[in-house]
């Protein structure tokens, strides 16, 4: 039995944060340089063929939750278009190798999600190089803490919305035109949509918008046989947190306020994205799966 399926105490399955979590990198952050490194499931995730023959696009696929999802999708039998920033190439190369080792195609597509043309190119690449798009997993996000609204610039507010919301619109718009019945769109919200932190005004607002966008789109495309759902993670240990997502001095207690008492790991998020992309979730659309360590949500 692999660790993935072994019965464990969830409060002790992964370690709590500590002083070694206090670290900072310039955005967007490189996973290779993190200590301790997040667990993306590369040593533990075992696929069961649930996505055999599917063609997926995963944004933020170089690190964090996106990395874990790309690995899981490949091991479940899907070919993957990997979207990430050019600065994240070193991390992305590791994911490309892992996807290929799973026997699947990996299409590396560096670029900036704030660019509408790039978003359209991701869908075009899936169609041209994989033969279509069955799964769109929008995971990449921008998060930069700012203590006071007076210090939050219009430029950052705009960049956060373009990365987190506009790209969602552009990608979904392009993908829906290509998707066949049975396809799935999985967007990424956050506990911040329900319990917003005062220092994450712009980020939290985008995450609430993603929930509403997804509920509306789900109703619009249901008749086409396309399901749209959301995963809303809680505090998860990723490069997003150590590259301006949180103040450095709070990272030593990151995740401590969750009922499970610890931060989540990307490997714990990936199964939710697999479930919502698979036929097992065929009667679920317009819903949000909260993977947040037990934090209550509406």
Task: Tell me the torsion sign for CA atoms 210, 233, 92, 53.
Answer: negative
The fold of 56-287 is: Rossmann fold (3.40.50)
* Chain center to CA of 157: 20
pLDDT tens track for 86-133: 999 999 999 999 999 999 999 999 999 999 999 999 999 999 999 999
Closest CA to 186 of 161, 211, 163, 166: 211
118 an active-site residue? Answer: no
In the prediction, which pLDDT does 194 show? 98
In the prediction, which pLDDT does 5 show? 84
Contact status, residue 180 vs residue 230, Cβ threshold 8 Å: no
**What pTM value is reported for the model?**
0.98
What are the Cα distances from residue 31, in Å, to 61, 71, 85, 118, 250? 12, 15, 13, 23, 19
Tell me what the mean pLDDT of segment 242-250 comes to: 97
Least confident residue range of 72-76, 141-145, 201-205, 294-298: 294-298
Contact status, residue 28 vs residue 243, Cβ threshold 8 Å: yes
Strand residue runs (E) in 172-296: 184-188, 227-233, 288-291
Q: Which of 73, 166, 203, 273 is catalytic?
A: 203
In the prediction, which pLDDT does 22 show? 97
Phi first, then psi: what are they for 264, rounded to 5°?
A: -80, 165
Q: Name the average pLDDT for the chain.
A: 97
């Amino acid at each position: 039995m692999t660790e993935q399926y072994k019965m464990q105490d969830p409060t002790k399955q992964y370690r709590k944060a500590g002083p070694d979590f206090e670290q900072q990198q310039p955005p967007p952050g490189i996973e290779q340089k993190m200590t301790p490194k997040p667990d993306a499931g590369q040593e533990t995730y075992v696929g069961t063929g649930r996505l055999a023959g599917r063609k997926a696009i995963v944004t933020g696929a170089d690190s964090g939750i996106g990395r874990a999802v790309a690995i899981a999708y490949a091991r479940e039998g899907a070919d993957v278009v990997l979207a990430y920033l050019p600065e994240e190439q070193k991390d992305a190369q590791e994911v490309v190798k892992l996807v290929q080792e799973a026997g699947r195609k990996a299409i590396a597509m560096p670029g900036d999600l704030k660019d509408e043309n790039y978003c359209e190119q991701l869908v075009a690449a899936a169609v041209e190089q994989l033969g279509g798009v069955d799964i769109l997993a929008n995971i990449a996000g921008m998060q930069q803490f700012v203590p006071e609204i007076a210090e939050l610039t219009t430029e950052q507010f705009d960049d956060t919305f373009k990365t987190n919301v506009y790209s969602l619109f552009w990608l979904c718009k392009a993908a829906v035109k290509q998707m066949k019945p049975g396809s799935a769109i999985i967007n990424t919200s956050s506990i911040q949509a329900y319990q917003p932190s005062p220092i994450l005004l712009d980020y939290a607002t985008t995450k609430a918008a993603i929930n509403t966008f997804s509920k509306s789109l789900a109703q619009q495309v249901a008749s086409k046989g396309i399901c749209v759902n959301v995963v809303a993670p809680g505090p998860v240990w990723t490069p997003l947190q150590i590259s301006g997502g949180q103040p450095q001095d709070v990272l030593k207690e990151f995740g401590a306020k969750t009922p499970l008492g610890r931060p989540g790991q990307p490997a714990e998020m990936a199964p939710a994205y697999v479930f919502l992309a698979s036929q097992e979730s065929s009667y679920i659309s317009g819903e949000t799966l909260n993977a947040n360590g037990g934090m209550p949500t509406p």
